[in-house]
Copies of this chain bind each other. A is one copy, B any other.
């Protein structure tokens, strides 16, 4: 696996004129590249969760636009702009919940509209590369801001993977955990295993072990029992979309953890760039919740364990209402006890 440099985990890279993704379906057992040469590869990568995590999906889509523009130009020459729109629509439909996908395509499309009929590759590639680097910078800024909220020697709980693998690098929730650990503020991390896709057991634990940050996995349903033992000061998670009132869409189970946190007086932090905030949706009820195949939860790596003839309901995100959230950490600042007014002010900074 050649995507990692300087001992940092990088899940997305542009190399030899292709998009190279670390295939997260096979982590942590195998570190394999998934190479995207054409747009359908990029769409497959997002849809099949080769790459996942809202910011990472956005960055991947930005490179997808580069690939689409390149192919449109190769095929149609100076007429290329007439053909790219259909591609962008397909790309935007790859997964429904993470708004960063639409946001990144919109950013890239703004530049597409400014392009001449000449070969757009270099200019679009530069933009995608800039977005990648900016995402890392944004994560580092959020890491520092989030760490400021945490007291020394804390134990924290995280759900799913909002780490380097879910972003261009460093991570949102895990970015805060990295920064806080570095600053001596975190002594132990508990990670929900995060059924059905096991992002916690497979990806978060993998990242934290690499960084030598002490981590214990728990089954998702043990979070409340853990909090009752005391000594968890913060739950720290990422987000796939935040509504204009501060309601938070994130991996299924986040809502359950948020309710348990409130019940035990544990604070709840959401770490997400402002590209995750969707000002067009007044409340979380309007956020589309993806439902994936029941098979995804009835088997593990081809081993089917559920009783034959049973059905499953597999929503893969849920909505945590703003009133259960203590802090939203963004690159533009931190909002405590989020509401529509505070979010509007943040977004106009």
Interface residues of A (CB under 8 A from B): 28-29, 190-196, 198, 201-203, 205-206, 208-209, 214-226, 228, 252-253, 255-257, 259-260, 263, 294, 297-298, 300-301, 303, 305-315, 318-319
21 A–B pairs (Cβ distance < 8 Å), ordered by A: A28-B307, A191-B310, A193-B306, A195-B220, A201-B305, A201-B310, A205-B306, A209-B307, A215-B310, A216-B312, A217-B294, A217-B306, A217-B311, A219-B252, A219-B253, A222-B315, A225-B252, A225-B315, A228-B319, A256-B256, A263-B263
User: Is there an interface contact between B318 and A224, defined as CB atoms closer than 8 Å?
Assistant: yes
Complex formed: what's the CA distance from A256 to B259 in Å?
9
**Chain B residues in 8 Å Cβ range of A313:** 190, 216-218, 222, 226
User: Is there an interface contact between A297 and B205, defined as CB atoms closer than 8 Å?
Assistant: no
Complex formed: what's the CA distance from A208 to B312 in Å?
13
**Chain B residues in 8 Å Cβ range of A314:** 218-219
Given contacts A221-B221, A225-B319, A263-B263, 20 further A-B contacts (CB under 8 A): A28-B308, A190-B313, A195-B195, A201-B298, A202-B306, A214-B311, A217-B298, A217-B312, A218-B312, A219-B297, A220-B221, A221-B257, A222-B252, A222-B315, A224-B256, A225-B256, A225-B318, A228-B319, A260-B260, A301-B305
Complex formed: what's the CA distance from A169 to B333 in Å?
59
Complex formed: what's the CA distance from A171 to B220 in Å?
26
What is the minimal beta-carbon distance from A124 to any residue of chain B, in angstroms?
36
- Chain multiplicity (copies): 2
A264 to chain B: closest residue by CB: B259
A201 touches which of B223, B224, B307 (Cβ 8 Å): B307
Complex formed: what's the CA distance from A219 to B300 in Å?
13
**Chain B residues in 8 Å Cβ range of A255:** 224-225, 228
What is the minimal beta-carbon distance from A285 to any residue of chain B, in angstroms?
10
User: Is there an interface contact between B190 and A193, defined as CB atoms closer than 8 Å?
Assistant: no
A223 to chain B: closest residue by CB: B256
Closest 7 CB pairs of A and B: A221-B253, A205-B310, A205-B307, A206-B307, A224-B256, A225-B318, A220-B221
What is the minimal beta-carbon distance from A206 to any residue of chain B, in angstroms?
4
What is the minimal beta-carbon distance from A70 to any residue of chain B, in angstroms?
36
Beyond A222-B318, A253-B221, A318-B224, whether A301 also contacts B303 by CB under 8 A is yes
**Chain B residues in 8 Å Cβ range of A307:** 28, 201-203, 205-206, 209
A310 to chain B: closest residue by CB: B205
What is the minimal beta-carbon distance from A21 to any residue of chain B, in angstroms?
19
What is the minimal beta-carbon distance from A173 to any residue of chain B, in angstroms?
16
A300 to chain B: closest residue by CB: B300
Complex formed: what's the CA distance from A315 to B312 in Å?
26
Complex formed: what's the CA distance from A224 to B301 in Å?
27
Complex formed: what's the CA distance from A253 to B218 in Å?
11
A306 touches which of B201, B297, B312, B315 (Cβ 8 Å): B201
Complex formed: what's the CA distance from A216 to B311 in Å?
5
What is the minimal beta-carbon distance from A288 to any residue of chain B, in angstroms?
14
What is the minimal beta-carbon distance from A265 to any residue of chain B, in angstroms?
13
What is the minimal beta-carbon distance from A236 to any residue of chain B, in angstroms?
16
Which of A205, A214, A221, A318 neighbours the largest number of chain B CB atoms within 10 Å of its CB? A221
What is the minimal beta-carbon distance from A201 to any residue of chain B, in angstroms?
4
**Chain B residues in 8 Å Cβ range of A202:** 305-307
